[in-house]
Amino acid sequence: MIVFLQVMVNGILNGLVYALVATGLSLIWGVMDVINFAHGDYLMVAMYTSFWIGALLGVDPVLSWIVSGAFLFLIGALTYKLIIRYTVGRSAISALLATFGLSMFLKNVCLYLFSPNFRLLSKTVLGGKTIETGGVIFPVPQLVTALGALVVIVLVYYMVKKTRLGWAIQATAMDKEAAELMGIDTERIYLLVFGLGGSCVGIAGGLLPSYLAVHPEVGLLFGLLAFVIVAMGGFGSIPGALFAALLVGLVESFSGFFIAPVFKYVAVFALYLLVVMVRPKGLFGW
Amino acid sequence: MNKVSSRRFLAVFAVVVLLVGTLAGAGFAEEKVIKIGTLFPLTGPVATAGQRCRAAVETAVEVINNSYPNMNIPLAAQEGILGGHKIVLVHADHQGKPDIGKAEAERLFNQEKVYAIIGSYNSAVTKPASFVAEMQKKIFMCGCSSSAALTERGFKYFFRMAPTDKTESHEFVEFMKWMNETRGSDFKTVGIIYENTEFGKHAADEGKAAAKDAGFEVVADVPFSPGATSMNSEVQTLKAADPDVVFGACLGGDYTLWVRTMKELNWLPKAALNYCTGYQDPMITRQLGDDANYFSGGMGYAPQFAHLMPDVAPVEAIYKEKTTPSVPFDSDSIQEAVAMFILAQAIEKAGTLDYDTVAKTLHENVWDSPLSLGGKVEFAPDGQNIRARSFLTQLQDGEYTIIYPEEFMQAEPVVPMVPWDKR
pLDDT in tens, A62-96: 899 999 999 999 999 999 999 988 887 777 788 88
pLDDT digits (tens, 9 = 90+) for B195-216: 988 889 989 999 999 999 999 9
Structural domain includes residue B211: yes
Kind plus residue range of the DSSP H or E element containing B415? none
Give me the average pLDDT of each 10-residue run along chain A (286 residues): 89 93 88 87 96 92 93 95 85 86 92 82 82 88 90 92 90 86 89 93 92 88 92 87 94 91 90 89 76
**Shortest Cα–Cα distance, A139 to chain B (Å):** 5
Structural domain includes residue B10: no
- pLDDT tier at B2 (50, 70, 90 boundaries)? low
B5, exposed or middle or buried, with CB in 10 Å at 0-12, 13-18, 19+? exposed
The DSSP line for A19-57 is: HHHHHHHHHHHHHH----TTHHHHHHHHHHHHHHHHHHH
Tell whether B281 and B225 lie within a shared domain. Answer: yes
Structural domain includes residue B19: no
Say if CB B281 and CB B331 are below 8 A apart. Answer: no
Angle between helices A2-32 and A39-57 (to 10 degrees): 110
Tell whether B52 and B85 lie within a shared domain. Answer: yes
Tell whether B87 and B234 lie within a shared domain. Answer: no
The pLDDT assigned to A44 comes to: 96
Structural domain includes residue B371: yes
DSSP reduced 3-state for B269: coil
Nearest residue, CB atoms, A257 vs list B47, B48, B233: B233
pLDDT digits (tens, 9 = 90+) for B340-365: 999 999 999 999 999 999 999 999 99
Q: Which residues of B258-283 are buried (b: 16+ CB within 10 A; e: fewer)?
A: bbbbbbbbebbbbbbbbbbbbbbbbb
Contacting residues of B for A265, CB less than 8 Å apart: 225
| Nearest to A121, CA basis, from A206, A213, A44 | A213
Query: CA–CA distance from B114 to each of A229, A264, B110, B140 (Å)?
Result: 47, 43, 8, 11
Nearest residue, CB atoms, B252 vs list A10, A118, A262: A118
Strands (E), B31-126: 33-40, 86-93, 116-119
| B331 pLDDT higher than 90 | no
Whether B44 sits inside 8 A of A262 (CB atoms) is no
Structural domain includes residue B285: yes
Pairing of strands A130-133, A136-139: antiparallel
pTM, to two decimals: 0.79
Does domain A2-129+141-278 fall under CATH 1.10.3210? My reply is no
To the nearest whole percent, how much of chain B has pLDDT over 70?
Answer: 92
The count of residues in chain B is 423
Provide the mean pLDDT of chain B.
Answer: 89
Q: Over range B18-42, report the average pLDDT.
A: 67
Phi, psi values for residue B156, rounded to 5°: -100, -20
Which of A137, A218, A262 to mutate to test binding with chain B, by most B CBs within 10 Å of its CB?
Answer: A262
A interface with B, Cβ–Cβ below 8 Å:
3, 6-7, 10, 14, 18, 111, 115-120, 122-123, 127-128, 130, 132, 137, 139, 141-142, 211-213, 215-218, 220-222, 225, 252-253, 255-257, 260-262, 264-265
Q: How far is CA B313 from the centre of its chain?
A: 18
Contacting residues of B for A137, CB less than 8 Å apart: 264-266
Query: Residue B261 is part of a domain; what is its CATH number?
Result: 3.40.50.2300
- pLDDT tier at B18 (50, 70, 90 boundaries)? very low
Tell whether B262 and B184 lie within a shared domain. Answer: yes
The count of residues in chain A is 286
Tell whether B242 and B272 lie within a shared domain. Answer: yes
Tell whether B111 and B190 lie within a shared domain. Answer: no
Q: Over range B34-49, report the average pLDDT.
A: 88
Tell whether B198 and B288 lie within a shared domain. Answer: yes
Tell whether B170 and B273 lie within a shared domain. Answer: yes
The pLDDT assigned to B222 comes to: 94
Distance CA A103, CA A217 (A): 11
Give the residues across from B192 on adjacent strands: B221, B247
ipTM above 0.85, yes or no: no
- For residue A7, what are the contacts with CB-CB under 8 A and spacing of at least 6? A253, A254, A257, A258, B232, B233, B236
pLDDT digits (tens, 9 = 90+) for B312-326: 999 999 999 999 888
| B85 pLDDT higher than 80 | yes
A187, exposed or middle or buried, with CB in 10 Å at 0-12, 13-18, 19+? middle
Query: What type of residue sits at position A98?
Result: A
Structural domain includes residue B104: yes
Tell whether B185 and B294 lie within a shared domain. Answer: yes
Tell whether B138 and B126 lie within a shared domain. Answer: yes
Q: Which residue has the higher pLDDT, B277 or A66?
A: A66
| DSSP secondary structure code for residue B416 in this structure | S
Distance CA B327, CA B341 (A): 20
- pLDDT tier at B25 (50, 70, 90 boundaries)? very low
The pLDDT assigned to A41 comes to: 95
Phi, psi values for residue B115, rounded to 5°: -80, -45
Contacting residues of A for B264, CB less than 8 Å apart: 128, 130, 137, 139, 141-142, 211
Structural domain includes residue B6: no
The pLDDT assigned to A228 comes to: 92
Tell whether B292 and B218 lie within a shared domain. Answer: yes
Phi, psi values for residue B93, rounded to 5°: -115, 125
Note down the domain range covering B249. 166-299+391-422
Number of domains in chain B: 2
Tell whether B285 and B414 lie within a shared domain. Answer: yes
